[in-house]
Structures are given as structure tokens and as C-alpha cells.
Amino acid sequence: MTTIPMTPPARKGAFRRFLTDLAREPLGLAGAIVVAALVLIALFAPLLAPYPPAEQSLTDALLAPSAAHWLGTDEYGRDILSRLIWGARVTMRTVLSVTAIVGPIGLLIGVTAGFFGGRIDAVLMRATDVVLSFPSLVLALAFAAAMGAGLGTAIIAISLTAWPPIARLARAEALVVRNADYVSAARVYGASKWRLLFLYVTPMCLPSVVVRLTLNMAVITLTAASLGFLGLGAQPPLPEWGAMISAGRKFMLDQWWVALMPGVAILITSLAFNVLGDALRDILDPRHTRD
Amino acid sequence: MILDIKNLSVAFGRGALRAVDSVDLQMQGGKIGIVGESGSGKSTLGRAIMRLLPPTARVTADRMAFEGRELLTLPEREMRAMRGNRMALIMQDPRYSLNPVLPIGRQVAETAILHKGLGKAEARDAAAAMLERVRIRDVARVMKAYPHQISGGMGQRVMIAAMLLARPKLVIADEPTSALDVSVRGEVLELLEDLVVADGASLLLISHDIRMVAAFCDRMVIMFKGRVVETLDRLEDAEHPYTRALIAAMPDARHPMHRLRVPDRSTFEEATR
Amino acid sequence: MLNTRLLTGRLGQLVLSLFVLIAVTFVIGRMLPTDPVGAIVGELASPEAYEAMRVRMGLDQPLIMQFFRYVTDLLQGDMGVAAMTGNPVLQDLAIAAPATLELATLAIIISFVLGVPLGLAAALRRDTWVDQVARIISLVGHSIPVFWFGIIGLIVFYAWLGLIGGPGRVDVFYEGLVPPVTGMITIDSLIAGRFDIFGNAMSHIILPAMMLAYAAMAYITRMTRAFTLEQLGQDYVTAARAKGASQTRLLFRHILPNIAVQLITILAISYGGLLEGAVVTEIVFSWPGLGQYMTNALLIGDINAVLAATIVIGIVFMVLNFLSDIAYAMLDPRTREAR
């Protein structure tokens, strides 16, 4: 049974407590570090990459990993490590953009449905259930195909079907919170519904939504990679990890590193988000039974 | 001696706090009641005797013998042969202690299959016979019914039937009437009395209701914070402040008062040390 | 006794979702930046020919009428003609579907046979090495791009070790030798008694099936573990133990029946997920199923075929979810009666 606090949780010192909690979870900490590293890599790509990502050198094509090229070169002689580093930028942009779209929209829909209830709830949840029942990857593919390939369309395509789980979650939280004592107290003091919604109910839904969004980032990474693999994501010469795998497929028998390396990057990124999300869940959601 | 327990302690996980703390208990027969509030360790004690605690529980004792056999060192396979056979546990709420997706007949017959070596059909007959013994009227319907289709009182009888089918020598009843309507509590207690006494078995009744235990049992063991605080035969013999406060806190229609005396916990901590 | 109110409610939801899906594909189809008329008549067509084609395609009608025509065409099975093959799309899909079904079905069987016991073991031996291994398998399975995993698998097991057959469903010289009964070469070859072809087909299907199965296993193992842990904390398990039941008996006669319905739900959801996984992975293995059809159509921009495949996969997806929803109502004795 959840206990609704009489007063809203204290914010001071909460962040520091959170950091110490995170430090106690070695796996989650590792995930957080990797995610932070990816963000930094994406930001400082121009400084970190040993070669320009689009620089071709056909005499150096398909070289095995060596001291000069740590991860080898692709069919145009481009350094794979540099392309991976620049590709981190594309991936991070995709993941963060989708999350920035899906988070607020899902939160808004869910909290509104849960807080107001009645017909609004029924309509919103009906719409949410419909979109939830769609095959998201396939639809994203169709959408991206119709709109023309590109990073922007990929972001929109993924966002279109990624919000329902967030909305459902926010609604469930809002349903619990709206009956809390401190919400009723505020209502007695004359707080308007909108004030209640945004200042009281929504903040309580944030922890589990944040957890879910983090776990979602892993899925978004994979979906974006699938789109890129099929040529629907960021277009060349922008290095996109999924597209790099697709290009490397032609040489996979003899120059396997071209196809292997980008996949490792995707795997590490996705793992990091999953692990971080799991740790966040253990910390932020006390109801979730710890393993 | 049915039960000979010396210095039994139970702690969970890495914590130092003991759910059961140095408990001594000796039982020759008859009915003994273990009384305590929530968290007193009484349920944990019951389960420790049957070795039904989760693996995170650390159980230590100088001696924990049942019918002369030391239980703590018994291999699990032999312990399983004892459970449901020579010692039984009746749990509190039949809504949860019965398997929701199995028909009742099967759940009662399970004991017969496990300990009497009966085949399916004979076990079913044994189960039906046992259900009659626990005074269930429409045995045929109940055998085929699912737990959610019968009342709480009936469910508890079913539980008793399943646990007592093999005629165990020790019956541990953990709050057997707490989840029931007040009107059926008496019937279930009566049933327990008849069945247990008829088989010459012993009953360990765990409850928070000191008055019920006093009326029903021969001896009472009062527990507080995992320790045995007092052992008495009659309520009037109560000496320990905690026991006295428990008795005093219960409303009595013969002595109406304006305000119930709520126990003052600070005085107990000292007295139980 | 079926809970008819629940059934009609869910059915209504299914119909609504299907309708919205079709509407969405219609909108997507109209969003094309290219000119559908020009694509057919060519750039040098005269204005009259262009207009004639426009009328023939119904593009002069108001949008609602166009949608209506779209839906009625769909209901009659007319999904247009594929630019790749020149065939009606529905026909192409009908040919491609069994290959995907064969792959997805084998994958789901493998993932269940491996995943459920692993989840059970992880729950029963909680926090031991079994549990940790299951956790790692699950975690990696959630994070791995399946198509890349397939490529790695091909490199290792086909190129380097030569253990399994390469791309395609069978070796080239076996193609077309087995009379198609179900469209699934593994089954058809058994029916025809050609064990050599069966072996060859198995060597081709085993790798893609295992790759897909691994991705599905992540979810199945995790959920099985969670369900089992939930049951282990229930009073009836303690009661059964108090009766003297062994661990095995507990598992098979008490816990499994309680989680069976939930497992079926997981099965349905996983199957849908496998279909999506197959879409991206078939192209890696040159597997001639729905996925490869769709990805090929994507690559050449045949939007008709893409949307048709989307609808077909969407229908299967939604029907699976629907079936798993009502499975609860039908199989769980607690909800069997209408309340």
C-alpha cells in the first residue's frame, strides 16, 4: 500500500541524498558515467575525433584496426572511431529530442486524464490505448518513408508512437496523488484546478516518469538505429550508427570490423540507459520491490 | 514432551534486531496460547518451529525438539515428511492461504497424496470425508468449488480439513479466527477443539486476543518484542505490567468506563529487559 | 461462462484501433512529397492525359471520399499494385507471410522453452548466480540491436565456423523442390518426407530464429521471474509448504497454474514484438518474408507496398493483443464469471 505524505516531499537536500543513493548502486553509477561520457563525447566531438568523419582516403580503405586507426577504416577510408564519435552526436540528438517531445506531452496528457477524470479521462485514455496498440517500429518506418528520410523525420516518426506509455504512467500516478491530503488542503485554500494540476499533482508524478523516460531512451536508441539501418535516419555524410552497420554489411565476411563497431556503440549506449534507468527506479520508486 | 524449545532466536537479513529473542517453550500437550501484539514475534515463532521462514531468516536455538527429535538439524526432506503430517500450520486468512486457481477438493486431497500415499481417487474420497468432519454441509459442491466461491468461515474449515487430514500431533494455529466474522469465530474454535482433542493432539494457538486465548487455552504465553514476558494459566494471575496493561485495555461490558487505559510502552521496555 | 460485456468492450477497442490505423496509413500515404500521378504518367505527359489519370485515381474527389474508397478497397483486399513486382500487393504479402510466420513461430518456441525455465530458476534461486546470469541475459537482450546481432551471428557461425546455412531459407539447389503445403519449408519438407531438405532448411532458419529468440527471451525471462517472485510471496505457497509439498510440486502444481494466464499474455506480446524484430532482421538473412518485403519496398520507395505491409503487421499485432486480453477473462477462474 502506498502512503501519501501529508506534506509534499522536501526538496532541499533531496538531490544530495539522490547522489549518495546512486553512488551505492555500482551498476547504476556505471550507467550514469557512461551516459555522461556519451553526452560529453557528443558535445566535444570536434575536439575528440582524431580524423574528420567525412574525410575520404580511398587508398586507406578497409584497413583493419591499427595504431593509426584504432577501429579501422570503412570502404571510403574514413576513420571508424571518428565516425563513431560524431555519430554519438546524432544519437544523442535523436534520443534527447524524442524525450523532450514525448516527456512533456505524455506527462500532460496523463496528468490531465488522471486529475480530471470523467469524460476527459475516458477520451484521452481511449486515444492513448489506440496508439499504444500500434506496432511502433513499423509505423515509424512507414512514416519516415513517406516523409522522406532524414534526422528530423526520424525524430518525429519515433515520437509519434513513444508517448502512450508515459501518458499511462502519469495518469496512474495522478490518480493516486489527487486524493492526497495536501492536495485537498490546497483546494480548501482556494487553489484553482490548474494550480493544483501543475504545482501539486504533476511534481509527484515526475519520479516514475523520469525513470520510464530513461528506460525509454534505450528503446529509442535501438529504434533510431533500426531506422538508420534501413536508410531512413540521418542521411550521409552524417555518420549514423545504424547506417554504418548497413554499409558495413557488404564487407562483413572479410572486413567485419566495419559492421561490428557501430553495433558495439549502440549496445553500450542502450545498456547504459537501461542500467541507469533500473538504478533510478530502485532509488526513486520506493514501492518497487528491490531485487 | 511434544515441544521442547530452549533459547530460540530469529533474526532477518543482516539486521541485529531479533524478531524472536531467546524464547523458551515447553509443551506436554493440551492447548497453549501465544499472545502478543503485531510485531511481538508470535507468528515468526510459529513458523520457525515448522521451519517455514524465508531463507533470509537466521534461526538459532540451544534446542528445538519435536517429539524428542531435534528439528534444527533435520534434513529438509525429513522436515517435509513432518509438515502437514505430524505437525500442521493453520493460517489466518483463507482468502489468501488457499490456492485461488485450484478446486478445493484437490487442495484438501493434496495432504492425503503427500502423506498417506493414496492415489488420486482415494485421496479425493479422503478429502470428502475430512470435509464432512469439519462440518461442511454441501461437500460435493465444495469439493468442486474454487476458493473465491465459498465464504470465509467455510474457507477456514477447508484449511483445517487440509491441515488436519493426516492427524498431526501438533497443530499450530496462527490467528485462525482473526479474519473471520465475529459470528463464526466461535464455531471455528469449537471445531479446532473437537478435532484436536479427539486426536489427542496438542494445539499452539497464536493470537492477539488475550481474552479469547484465556477462555480457550490451558496456558498462556505473553510475548512482547520477541521475548516471552510472562506465562500464566489464568488472567487473574497476571503480574507483568505489560500483561496487566493488555488486559486492562480491553473493553469489558461488565465494567463500562469512560476511557480505556492505553498501555504506556515506556514502562515495558524496562520490565522486559 | 464468458464475460460478454468485457468481450464486446475489447472487441470495440480492437475495431476502433484498426480503423485509426487504416486512417493513419491513409494520411501517411497522402503525405508523400512526390506526385503520385506524375509517377505513373511520366513527366512528358500531356495535361489531358495527366488529368485523365488524376480522375482515374480518384484524386479529384474530396478527401473524405478518397478515404472511403481507400477503406472499401482495403476491405475487398485491394491494396494496390506493388511497384517492385507488378503484382497486387495482397498477393505478394500472402506469399511472403508464411516465411515470417515460420521464423517467428520457431523463435517464440525457442524463447519460451529457454526463457520460462530461466525465469523460474532465477526466482526460486533468488540472488544466486543463476539469478545474476538471468539478469545479465535479460539486460543485454533488451539493449542489443537485433539486426546487428544477426550480422554478428552470420559472421561467426556462417563465415568463420561454417556451422549453419547462409542467407535464404534453403541452399540454392534445394529451392522449389518441396511442394508447398503450409508455405513453411520446414514443415512441408517433413510432410514430403525429404529429410535432407528439412535438415538444410533447419540449418538456415536456426540462426535467425535464435537471434530473434534471444531478444524476446529478455522480456520473457524478466516477466517470468517477476510473476514467480510475486507468487512465492503469497500465503498459499506457505500453506502448501506447510502441507509438506516439495519445491517441484510447489512449482508445477501451485505456481505455474497461477502464472499460466500471465505467461500466455506475455507470449502474445512477445510474438508481436518478434514480428517487428523480423521486419528489420529478415533483410540481413535474405529471408523472403514480410520484413524483407517491407524493407525492400522502403528502399525503392514503393509506398503502397510499405503501407500495405504496415496494415497487415498492424492487424496481426492488434489481434494478438486482443486475444491476450481476453485470455485473462477466459482462463482465470476468478474472472470467468461476469461480476
Q: Give me the domains of chain A, ranges plus CATH numbers.
A: 25-49+67-288 (1.10.3720.10)
Q: How many degrees, rounded to 5, is the angle at CA B232 between CA B228 and CA B235?
A: 120
Cα–Cα distance list, A51 to A65, A81, B76, B105 (Å):
14, 8, 66, 76
Residue appearing with cell numbers 546512486:
A22
Q: How many degrees, rounded to 5, is the angle at CA A108 between CA A106 and CA A112?
A: 120
- Residue with more model confidence, A287 or B87: B87
Identify the residue among C147, C148, C293, C307 best suited for mutation to test binding to A, counting A beta carbons within 10 A and taking the highest.
C148
Per-residue pLDDT tens digits for A133-189: 899 899 999 988 888 888 999 999 999 999 999 999 999 988 888 877 777 788 788
What does the alpha-carbon distance between residue A77 and residue A64 come to, in Å, rounded to a whole number? 11
- Residue with more model confidence, A94 or B37: A94
The confidence score (pLDDT) of residue B161 equals 94
C243 interaction partners in chain B (CB closer than 8 Å): 83-84, 110-111, 114, 162-163
Q: How confident is the model at residue B131 (pLDDT cuts 50, 70, 90)?
A: very high
Report ipTM (2 d.p.). 0.89
Q: How confident is the model at residue A57 (pLDDT cuts 50, 70, 90)?
A: confident
Shortest distance between the Cα of B84 and any Cα of chain C, in A, equals: 4
- Among the partner-chain residues C236, C241, C254, the one whose CB lies closest to the CB of B83 is C241
Determine, for residues C236 and B146 on separate chains, whether the beta-carbon distance falls below 8 Å.
no
Per-residue pLDDT tens digits for A93-146: 999 999 999 999 999 999 999 888 889 999 999 999 999 989 989 999 998 888
**Cell numbers representing residue A76 in the block:** 571510403
Ramachandran bin of B88, using left for φ above 0, alpha for ψ from -120 to 50, beta for the remaining angles: beta
B101 interaction partners in chain C (CB closer than 8 Å): 257-258, 332-334
Determine, for residues B80 and C236 on separate chains, whether the beta-carbon distance falls below 8 Å.
no
Shortest distance between the Cα of A137 and any Cα of chain C, in A, equals: 7
Shortest distance between the Cα of A25 and any Cα of chain C, in A, equals: 15
The confidence score (pLDDT) of residue C226 equals 93
Neighbours of C68 (CB within 10 A): 13
Q: What is the pTM assigned to this prediction? A: 0.86
The confidence score (pLDDT) of residue C339 equals 35
C236 interaction partners in chain B (CB closer than 8 Å): 96-100
Phi, psi of A125 (to 5 degrees): -70, -30
Side chain identity, residue C126: R
- Does B210 have pLDDT greater than 80? yes
**Cell numbers representing residue C165 in the block:** 546455412
Determine, for residues A245 and C33 on separate chains, whether the beta-carbon distance falls below 8 Å.
no
State the chains in contact with C (3 or more Cβ–Cβ pairs under 8 Å): A, B
C128 touches chain B (CB under 8 A): no
- Residue with more model confidence, B223 or A177: B223
- Among the partner-chain residues C239, C245, C258, the one whose CB lies closest to the CB of B97 is C239
pLDDT in tens, chain C (339 residues): 456 777 888 899 899 999 999 999 888 888 777 666 766 667 777 888 888 877 777 777 777 888 888 888 888 878 777 777 888 888 889 889 999 999 999 999 999 999 999 999 999 988 889 999 999 999 999 999 999 999 999 888 888 888 887 788 888 777 777 777 787 888 888 888 888 888 888 888 999 999 999 999 999 999 999 999 999 989 999 999 999 999 999 999 999 999 998 999 899 989 999 999 998 899 999 999 999 999 888 888 788 888 899 999 999 999 998 888 888 777 766 655 433
Nearest to A173 by CA among A105, A127, A122, A113: A113
Determine, for residues C254 and B52 on separate chains, whether the beta-carbon distance falls below 8 Å.
no
A240 interaction partners in chain C (CB closer than 8 Å): none
Per-residue pLDDT tens digits for A78-91: 888 999 999 999 99
C257 touches chain B (CB under 8 A): yes
The confidence score (pLDDT) of residue C338 equals 38
The confidence score (pLDDT) of residue A181 equals 78
- Residue with more model confidence, B219 or C300: B219
Nearest CA in chain A to C281: A226
Going by their DSSP bridges, the two strands B219-224 and B227-232 should be labelled as: antiparallel
- List the single range of B228-232, B249-253, C193-197 with lowest mean pLDDT: B249-253
Nearest CA in chain B to C232: B54
What does the alpha-carbon distance between residue C325 and residue C8 come to, in Å, rounded to a whole number? 12
Q: What is the DSSP string of B35-64?
A: E--TTSSHHHHHHHHHT-S-TTEEEE-SEE
C234 interaction partners in chain B (CB closer than 8 Å): 96
Determine, for residues A134 and C321 on separate chains, whether the beta-carbon distance falls below 8 Å.
no
Going by their DSSP bridges, the two strands B170-174 and B87-90 should be labelled as: parallel
B163 interaction partners in chain C (CB closer than 8 Å): 242-243
- Among the partner-chain residues C16, C229, C301, the one whose CB lies closest to the CB of A130 is C16
- Among the partner-chain residues C234, C243, C253, the one whose CB lies closest to the CB of B111 is C243
- Among the partner-chain residues C28, C33, C279, the one whose CB lies closest to the CB of A143 is C28
The confidence score (pLDDT) of residue C40 equals 67
Nearest CA in chain C to A227: C280
Architecture of domain B3-272: 3-Layer(aba) Sandwich (3.40)
E-assigned strand segments in chain B: 3-12, 18-27, 31-35, 57-60, 63-66, 69-70, 87-90, 170-174, 202-207, 219-224, 227-232
Nearest CA in chain C to B88: C242
Where along chain B do its domains lie?
A: 3-272
- Among the partner-chain residues A138, A145, A271, the one whose CB lies closest to the CB of C276 is A138
Under 8 Å between Cβ of C24 and A139: yes
The confidence score (pLDDT) of residue A291 equals 40
Identify the residue among A84, A128, A130, A290 best suited for mutation to test binding to C, counting C beta carbons within 10 A and taking the highest.
A130
C49 touches chain A (CB under 8 A): no
Burial C90-124 (b: 16+ CB within 10 A, else e): bebbebbbbbbbbbbbbbbebbbebbbebbbbbbb
- Among the partner-chain residues C236, C238, C332, the one whose CB lies closest to the CB of B52 is C238
Q: How confident is the model at residue B71 (pLDDT cuts 50, 70, 90)?
A: very high
Determine, for residues B91 and C238 on separate chains, whether the beta-carbon distance falls below 8 Å.
yes
Which 197-256 residues of chain A touch chain C by CB within 8 A?
A: 218, 222, 225-226, 229-232, 242, 245, 249, 252-253, 256
**Cell numbers representing residue B162 in the block:** 487440509
- Among the partner-chain residues A131, A135, A259, the one whose CB lies closest to the CB of C151 is A259
Chains A and C touch (3+ CB pairs under 8 A): yes
Nearest to A158 by CA among A271, A269, A234, A209: A234
- Among the partner-chain residues B80, B81, B101, the one whose CB lies closest to the CB of C257 is B101
Residues of B with CB under 8 A from a CB of C: 47, 50, 52, 80-85, 88-89, 91, 93, 96-102, 110-111, 114-115, 146, 148, 159, 162-163
Per-residue pLDDT tens digits for A214-263: 999 999 999 999 999 998 888 888 899 999 999 988 888 888 888 999 99
C230 touches chain B (CB under 8 A): no
- Among the partner-chain residues C234, C242, C257, the one whose CB lies closest to the CB of B84 is C242
Chains B and A touch (3+ CB pairs under 8 A): no
A245 interaction partners in chain C (CB closer than 8 Å): 145, 147-148, 151
What does the alpha-carbon distance between residue B116 and residue B133 come to, in Å, rounded to a whole number? 18
Determine, for residues B102 and C254 on separate chains, whether the beta-carbon distance falls below 8 Å.
yes
The confidence score (pLDDT) of residue C3 equals 66
Per-residue pLDDT tens digits for A192-210: 777 777 777 888 888 889 9
C334 touches chain B (CB under 8 A): yes
